[in-house]
Structure 1
Amino acid sequence: MASHIESLLRLDELTRQGVVNRQAGDLTAAAESVRACHDLLDGFDGDTVFDLGPDLVPMRAEWALTSTLQGDEELALRGWERCWEQAGRFGLDELRRESAAAVAVVHAFNGDCRYATHWLDRTDPDTPSSATPLAAVARATLALDALELPDAERELAEAQALVTSERWADLAFVEARLASLDGKHVSGMARLRATCLAHYPKQWSGGANWELIDSATRILDRVDARVPRGDRGGYGGSSVTEYADVVIALRALDDGKVESARMIALDDLDQPTVSLRTGAGMRLLLAVTAPDEQAALAPAEAALETIRTEHLYYLLRYFPQPSIRTLAARNDELVPYLGDPDATPQRPTLTKREREVLWYIAQGYRFEQIAAAEYISVNTVKSHAKNLYQRIGVNDRSSAARYGEANPDETLAPSDDY
């Protein structure tokens, strides 16, 4: 018994050290504490581990949370599942619900509707608990996939308690998805900035929170810079970074960079960790960039089957091509989500002066040069630029320049008629 008590005390000490480091943003040190805990447990057989009793289960939850925030999705998933199992053995219902909600979020972010729903049922959704906000994030994600935007908005209201937790970035990411799908890019970016400013920078300078915020920014800001997954290092193949890859590839396709879009799709599908969501999106990209109809058929059919079974209907909004619509129309379940083939994404309405400033920025002019060319003050230029950034959903001049280059029809050279 003494050895059990000593082991628990040592595990508790290591766990506390890990939590302190994690909350300070030192995920590397936190992960080392988790590894030390696992190494200590490896010296015991299964019965001995069980004899350590219910005190071990909350520690397991902290280890799983560290793995989650570090970005090691596979280790986190195993940890939460083990925590759920052992919490059930000892009647720790609250912790069991929290573990189930954490697993549900992983599957929802991966676009796996069936497993996410299965684990959401295990959170006892009719019983309010500490698991409710995290479970709401998973349900909101599933609602967005199914294009049930009002339901997603209601679920996100239920999830607001996460704002003050270590998992605040999960909420911010899903809110960014909602803003993107309902066309509120500007307000979504403003909310994202405010959320980030409200948190200690070290809590999102790395790991999963950084991936979530970076991906949310790319979704809202339409940033097209991309680092190939094989060059990212660490745990760069998570479902959220993959989601951002789909957005970037779609941006390339919209800009007429067909080969770039296809290479992104091939690169992601060649990696070992590809979520159902990413797989479906990238296969649709392969289909619309294929050299002929025959080459497009197999990836398109595989993608549409995943969209149907996992309720990833939102992907159909991004692929209005006749070939995809024709194949999707064969399935009655997909028809209501095809939308208007002639619908085009709504562009922000810019004033004449904002269009002119955008033209100058896209040409590489500095604010001082714009002021001199237009015979206005630098402060006036900065004011126009600030309004411009808000309208097009960017936060700096380089992003505005990329936007202007990609959307020349929205710029206005000084000599052009309005």
Structure 2
Amino acid sequence: MIRIVLYEDNTQLREGLSMLINGFDKFAVAGAFRNCNNVKEEIRELKPDVVLMDIDMPGTNGIEGLKLIREVDNQVKVLMLTVFDDNKNVFEAIRSGADGYLLKKTPPSKLLEYIQDVFDGGAPMTSSIARQVLQMFSGQPVSNREEDNYNLSDREKEVLQLLVNGYSYKMIAAEMYISIDTVRSHIKKIYEKLHVNSKSEAVAKAFKDRII
């Protein structure tokens, strides 16, 4: 059972998403809120596997809420679900530790697939968002530090390359003949060495600094 917490200020949409998600045996909505005013306490208490996060909400908005979540939980998957597809919000969400970024026009069936994907270690993005991410980082200057690989081991570089290739945790484990727990351990070390908080941010940094 994948436990999900929703942050969405539109009551009709929040209730609709809750009904959709609860309609499937493998998913359960642990909580649904109109803003992130008490997000730290809610995440600690409810211990969700995945958070669906709107951006434009009264009180504490989604970007600030995401930052607060990362202060108390670095493992929960946070999937932004919003109407905003501008560079500023996309970049800020990724920089703050979002694991995926979807537009609200995403069909319900695809949304459920994306929730499963992010839970399995993927980094789902609406195609238009993915193009923006690539464009944003393709024009970034390369790090001035020559041969700077952030002291990644060969094994960690291999895992990072598979992340860049879009592999989920399960796929990496199968490809490298290691357990998912070992994959998680490698990825935790990669995040620490790259000073990032999410898969999407790690992939972006790999592109930007040509680490692999």
TM-score category, normalised to shorter length? 0.3 to 0.5
TM (norm. structure 2) is 0.36
Q: Is the radius of gyration larger for structure 1 or structure 2?
A: 1
| Structure number with higher strand proportion | 2
| Structure number with higher helix proportion | 1
The higher-RCO structure (CA 8 Å, 6+ apart) is 2
